[in-house]
Structure 1
Amino acid sequence: MTKNHREQAMKANVYINQQQEKVKNTKYRLNYHMMPPVGWMNDPNGFVQYNGEYHLFYQHNPYAAQWGPMHWGHAKSRDLVNWEHLPVALAPSEYYDNGTIDDHGCFSGSAIEKDSELYLLYTGHSIERNPMQVQCIAKSRDGIDFIKENQNPVIDHFPKDGSKDFRDPKVWEYDNQYYMVVGSNKDGKGKALFYQSSNLIEWEYRGVVAESNGKQGDMWECPDLFPLEEEHALIFSPMYGEKNEKPIIIFGEMDYKKAKFSQGKSMLLDYGHDFYAPQTLIDEKGRRIMIGWMDMWFSKRPSEEDDWAGAMTIPRELTYNQNGKFVQKPIEELKTLRKNHHQMEGFDIDGVQRLPDLDGSATELCIDFDIANSDSSVFGLQLRCSKDRSEKTMIKVDTINEEIIVDLTSAGKGESGIHKAPYRSNTNGKLNLRLFLDTTSLEVFVNHGEQVITNRIYPHASSNEVDLFAEGGKIKVLNVDKWSLRSVWK
């Protein structure tokens, strides 16, 4: 790396090493989710498998628990479950990614292996420069120390179809060529701009591969275009003015010769408040795996008082179920976290029933309900409850409106709000909920991943009781499986 980049990265690493002991045992730290050792974390970047290990880079401000000059934090794992923090990979250091105002840095991007080296493609951002955002490269022979490319920026201006908002390159290889989508906008429409290269350094602009239909945001951040079984999928995180909204997945066909992605059906990837900027990889097992930022812009973040903020979701495998429906499945490796299994079978709930065997703050719960043979129209769970129930997170199933509702009105110090996802009980009237609960998070997988609802919650540490409830009748519970999940950090 250049002398200046080495100095800036070393400065960040020294600071992290000095501060992380103060942070690591604070009350809101998670047990099995990826989080920064100190400071701020947002978008996952450079999610890749390299030399048999998974690498995850991320937007990182090591010096504060708020967004600031963007570095790339870095961690690796052999199983996507147990993570090891590595030194900062990128620090703002050059004219194209640095500035005197705090609004600068190495913005989001992706990673790819070429000739046994690991390449990072990222957006250099400086509000003082024109153009404000350019695309850059850094590379490494060992996957740890990165040298910024002498020819940076490798794309030094936005095309006529884009604008100064020109960021978040996602790169992949297809048919011995490299391709890249970059998020941008023009004329009130979010766009994915398409590039091609034979060497990762010289890029040819091919045009707009996809754009908003007028209802999908006026800026597309963090686009990701990839094959998924017999079709292609495009993921992006839309903005509407200054407001960031829930990421969308669109299914369709990709024509590389015409540089066009034809849009078919689309859906929200996650119905919760805290899911943004997801990125995918294809691993050596052939799985398409996605991870997202488990937070959202302009949120309450009680952990800021402890000098850290932000986390990642559990990794999800993107696939199709036996009925051909797109699903997001928690990766199999998460089962290695399980301990203290408790099972319950065949019982009814009428009113509110306290179930102490399900208590906990880092647990996995898997519940099968028999709606067809029940007469309650609203039922569900209360999690992370205080003894007097003044604090609780509610998950309701509304069978009349066919909605799963996560109610955070009394969930603690974080964002309040009510989040709804549609559902369909399966053909025999059964409904499955699989919940991953951590110290300050809740991820709800509906019907084996047909919908997902992700939220950060900040209850008191002592609020860990669980109730099941049914309104206006009884609900039949077929099975409950509960595991405690061990910490990957202690």
Structure 2
Amino acid sequence: MARFTLIFFLISYSLQSFSQERWRPEFHFSPEKNWMNDPNGLVYLNGEWHLFFQHNPLENKWGHMSWGHAVSHDLLNWTELEVAIPEGEEEWIFSGSVVNDKNNTSGFFEDNNGLVAIYTADYHGKLENQHLAYSKDNGRTWVKYAGNPIIPQAWSAQGSLGELKEFRDPNIFWHQESEKWIMAVVLPKQYKVQFYSSTNLKTWKWESDFGGVGDMRKIWECPGMTKVPIYDVDGKQIDFKWLLMVSSSGPDDGYTGMQYFTGNFDGKTFSPDNEQWPKYLDHGKDFYAAIPFNNTSKSLILGWFSNWKYAQKPPTNAYKGQMSIVRELSFVKNRDGVTLRQRPVVESQNWNKVLQMEQMPLSSSNGIDWRTQSRTYRLQMTFEVNGSDNFGLKILVGENEQTVISYNPNSQEISLDRTQSGHSVDLSFPSIERAFCPLIRNRLTLDILVDNSMVEVFANDGQVVISDLVFPETDAKSWKIFGNENQGKLMDISVWEWEK
């Protein structure tokens, strides 16, 4: 009887583990166990990409906030390390950033090279201020600065604002023109991004505030500031423009998301362009708290792939939370001004090309059941559009479930429909995301990443992006293209499967 009980237990445990792991992404980062949300301290140093992140090392729910840590050599294969900065006796370690203090402006490093983290210390909802820690061993161990807090209270042109319950998420970068460190930090309920400057990362001076514009339906969090290159239509770099990202509300009311502003920054003040705000980085439900990588020549960002509307509810019982694919940012100059472009960073030896075809009428592919070996793949395709009927493709197709990506030439909208995608985490989860996406010379290009429970759609070279979680409950390894013979043709299609 005891042996039977043991066998039954092992079988049940194995089935439970499979059930928990079947949605775990393979080329996106997720923690081995327990809770994760915002990315923190994204930085490149000595051949390693560092990802620090909001982490509860004790439970699979929000709380006990500390900094987790993972490293990668290609931004796709990640190795999780020990907790980098654990919670203190009185404070939790909230979001922040990490810089490479290569000129030892802080005075912490004898060999003129080390990492400095600046983060928000949250005193269990009673007070927030900014703290510093530093590392001399590539981020493996950290020393909390004895002079903390480095910014005990927020400031303004009128003087001190006093100690605040909400004053958080510092994002640090080096401003070459003024030869100073710049901090962007938020006053969430005042819908403001504050800018501070420093020459040594320890002593900070208030410079200016930006806010009161854009989307103010939800509090402002996790600012990110980066200088983004501008290219002409021939691919030649012609200039730069500053991009300020703020996590707040998404396009759909009631859901979190990210908005951005473009403009100029002189080391003191951010001056937004004369545009209609808000503009959104992503038109899906699951992209939040993205910040830039430091110490790299490219404009790269990474975001948390979830939504506060249902973040605690996904059926991934071993862990909660996953990160987006890394995106490279640029602007494209055209007749209408400049357009933000986000391209996925996906170069890796793990991709295996399994299909490449060209010049195929839509009617020829309509209804064909394509099948991959797994639910981790990349689809790239170009449609030439001649008609007015909807067309697109169905992915993660299984018994009574599918996720549909479609294009409406009349409204010039691309959509992602997850209303039949499988397990629904709550009543707010089934949704259809839509975004305005004009054709370019009568063509629509799609770059689609599918990673078990994650779908990222980059349309028209990343000028429109939609990111959504899905939880297929069946095998769901099929995908289909749909359209009619008068609609146009599939100019090209390539399929890669991810192999560990």
Could you say which TM-score interval applies, normalised by the shorter chain? 0.7 to 0.9
Kept in 2: contact 1:376–1:471 (CA 8 A) = no
Relative to structure 1, the CA distance from residue 214 to residue 292 in structure 2 (aligned partners, 3 Å threshold; closer, same or farther) is closer
Structure 1, 298-307 or 265-274: larger mean CA deviation: 298-307
Separation in structure 1 between the aligned mates of residue 287 and residue 246 of structure 2, nearest angstrom = 12
Aligned partner (choices 165, 176, 179) of residue 179 of structure 2: 176
Kept in 1: contact 2:362–2:484 (CA 8 A) = no
> 2:244 — aligned with what?
234
Q: Deviations over 1:439-486 (max 9, x none)?
A: 110000001100110011100251111111126954311111001012
> 1:410 — aligned with what?
420
Kept in 1: contact 2:388–2:410 (CA 8 A) = no
Aligned partner (choices 84, 89, 95) of residue 84 of structure 2: 89
> 2:494 — aligned with what?
481
* Alignment pair present for 1:268 and 2:280: yes
Separation in structure 2 between the aligned mates of residue 321 and residue 443 of structure 1, nearest angstrom = 21
What TM-score results when the alignment is normalised by the length of structure 1?
0.85
> 2:361 — aligned with what?
348
Relative to structure 1, the CA distance from residue 468 to residue 128 in structure 2 (aligned partners, 3 Å threshold; closer, same or farther) is closer
> 2:148 — aligned with what?
152
Relative to structure 1, the CA distance from residue 214 to residue 47 in structure 2 (aligned partners, 3 Å threshold; closer, same or farther) is closer
> 2:298 — aligned with what?
287
Separation in structure 1 between the aligned mates of residue 443 and residue 348 of structure 2, nearest angstrom = 24
Separation in structure 1 between the aligned mates of residue 438 and residue 224 of structure 2, nearest angstrom = 28
> 2:58 — aligned with what?
63
Q: Deviations over 1:368-422 (max 9, x none)?
A: 1010xx3252011111111x4x100001101111111100110011421110111
Separation in structure 1 between the aligned mates of residue 182 and residue 311 of structure 2, nearest angstrom = 38
Q: CA deviation at 1:178?
A: 1.2
Q: CA deviation at 1:28?
A: 1.6
> 2:448 — aligned with what?
435
Separation in structure 1 between the aligned mates of residue 125 and residue 454 of structure 2, nearest angstrom = 37
Unaligned ranges ≥5, structure 1 = 1-20, 98-104
> 1:118 — aligned with what?
115
Kept in 1: contact 2:156–2:206 (CA 8 A) = no
Separation in structure 1 between the aligned mates of residue 485 and residue 310 of structure 2, nearest angstrom = 36
Kept in 2: contact 1:27–1:461 (CA 8 A) = no
Aligned partner (choices 431, 438, 446) of residue 459 of structure 2: 446
Kept in 1: contact 2:187–2:193 (CA 8 A) = yes
Any idea what SS the aligned residue of 2:367 has? strand
Separation in structure 1 between the aligned mates of residue 333 and residue 214 of structure 2, nearest angstrom = 33
Any idea what SS the aligned residue of 2:285 has? coil
Kept in 1: contact 2:255–2:309 (CA 8 A) = no
Kept in 2: contact 1:39–1:308 (CA 8 A) = yes
> 1:317 — aligned with what?
328
Separation in structure 2 between the aligned mates of residue 119 and residue 244 of structure 1, nearest angstrom = 33
Alignment of 1:98-137 (within 5 A): 105-114=92-101, 115=104, 116-127=113-124, 129=126, 132-137=127-132
Kept in 2: contact 1:225–1:233 (CA 8 A) = yes
Any idea what SS the aligned residue of 1:353 has? coil
Kept in 2: contact 1:375–1:472 (CA 8 A) = no
Kept in 1: contact 2:188–2:221 (CA 8 A) = no
* Alignment pair present for 1:42 and 2:55: no
Separation in structure 1 between the aligned mates of residue 181 and residue 306 of structure 2, nearest angstrom = 31
What TM-score results when the alignment is normalised by the length of structure 2?
0.83
List 4+ stretches of structure 1 deviating above 6 A: 21-25
Q: Deviations over 1:245-284 (max 9, x none)?
A: 3201211011225x34334445210000100000112554
Separation in structure 1 between the aligned mates of residue 299 and residue 31 of structure 2, nearest angstrom = 24
Any idea what SS the aligned residue of 2:349 has? helix
Q: CA deviation at 1:66?
A: 1.4
Alignment of 1:13-28 (within 5 A): 26-28=21-23
* Alignment pair present for 1:327 and 2:341: yes
Q: CA deviation at 1:425?
A: 0.7
Kept in 2: contact 1:71–1:106 (CA 8 A) = yes
Q: CA deviation at 1:357?
A: 4.7
> 1:100 — aligned with what?
none
Kept in 1: contact 2:416–2:433 (CA 8 A) = yes
Q: CA deviation at 1:76?
A: 0.9
Separation in structure 2 between the aligned mates of residue 383 and residue 85 of structure 1, nearest angstrom = 30
Q: CA deviation at 1:325?
A: 3.1
**Matched residue count:** 445
Q: Deviations over 1:295-321 (max 9, x none)?
A: 111316665452211101111100134
Amino acid of the structure 2 residue aligned with 1:281: F
Q: CA deviation at 1:239?
A: 4.9
RMSD: 2.5
Kept in 1: contact 2:24–2:316 (CA 8 A) = no
> 2:8 — aligned with what?
none
> 1:6 — aligned with what?
none
* Alignment pair present for 1:219 and 2:225: no
> 2:480 — aligned with what?
467
Amino acid of the structure 1 residue aligned with 2:282: D
Kept in 2: contact 1:54–1:80 (CA 8 A) = yes
> 1:206 — aligned with what?
207
> 1:4 — aligned with what?
none
Amino acid of the structure 2 residue aligned with 1:402: Q
| Fraction of identical pairs, as percent | 29
Separation in structure 2 between the aligned mates of residue 239 and residue 23 of structure 1, nearest angstrom = 35
Kept in 2: contact 1:274–1:294 (CA 8 A) = yes
Amino acid of the structure 2 residue aligned with 1:356: W
> 2:393 — aligned with what?
381
Amino acid of the structure 2 residue aligned with 1:182: V
Unaligned ranges ≥5, structure 2 = 1-15, 105-112, 230-239
